[in-house]
């Protein structure tokens, strides 16, 4: 399910629209994930506070979203562009790649909450494809 030229244009245009709120989107998506899918908390067992708005969730949500925004600029070669992040997730963090889909879903929900008019079905399919391609690139080094 590769990204077409149109998909890339749609994602870039939409990301331009959301850029001022990107950090907040990342923070909220992570916060949602920890509440709606509590099993994901195991990866953050060392955090004192998983709630939306906590220092840990804020910092990490921002980190993740910045990497995703960075990947928007690497859509022509996600596997190459995400190579070192893939190494990190595969060998150090060892996050089960099933969780990438879970976080992606929560990003989509957060986008729908904050950009109801702009997050049309056409934007939804392009962003979903982008996040799926990103997740695959992130899982590339797992085995």
Partner 1 sequence: MVEWTEFERTTIQDIFSKMNYDVVGQQSLARCLIVYPWTQRYFGNFGNLYNAAAIMGNPMVAAHGKVVLHGLDRAVKNMDNIKATYAELSVLHSEKLHVDPDNFRLLGDCLTVVVAAQLGAAFTPEVQAAFQKFLAVVISSLRRQYQ
- Chain positions contacting partner 1, by CB under 8 A: 31-32, 34-36, 52, 105, 108-109, 112-114, 116, 119-122, 124-125, 128
Distance of CA 58 to CAs 23, 52, 67, 104, Å?
8, 8, 14, 17
Nearest residue (CB) to partner 1, 10 versus 71: 10
Nearest residue (CB) to partner 1, 35 versus 93: 35
Nearest residue (CB) to partner 1, 5 versus 121: 121
Closest distance to partner 1 from the beta carbon of 33 (Å):
9
In sequence order, the 6+-apart residues with CB closer than 8 A to the CB of 26 are 61, 62, 63, 64, 65, 66, 68, 107
Helix (H) or strand (E) holding 95: none
CB 134, CB 106: distance < 8 Å: no
Closest distance to partner 1 from the beta carbon of 30 (Å):
10
Closest distance to partner 1 from the beta carbon of 101 (Å):
10
């Amino acid at each position: 399910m590769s990204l077409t030229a149109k998909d890339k244009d749609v994602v870039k245009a939409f990301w331009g629209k959301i850029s001022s709120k990107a950090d907040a989107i990342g923070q909220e998506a992570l916060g949602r994930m920890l509440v709606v899918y509590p099993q994901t908390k195991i990866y953050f067992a060392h955090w004192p506070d998983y709630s939306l708005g906590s220092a840990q969730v804020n910092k990490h949500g921002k980190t993740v979203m910045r990497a995703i925004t960075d990947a928007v600029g690497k859509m022509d070669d996600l596997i190459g562009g995400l190579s070192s992040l893939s190494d990190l997730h595969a060998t150090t963090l060892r996050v089960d790649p099933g969780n990438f889909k879970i976080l992606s879903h929560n990003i989509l929900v957060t986008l729908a909450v904050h950009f109801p008019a702009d997050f049309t079905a056409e934007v939804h399919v392009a962003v979903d494809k982008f996040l799926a391609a990103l997740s695959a690139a992130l899982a590339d080094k797992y085995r």
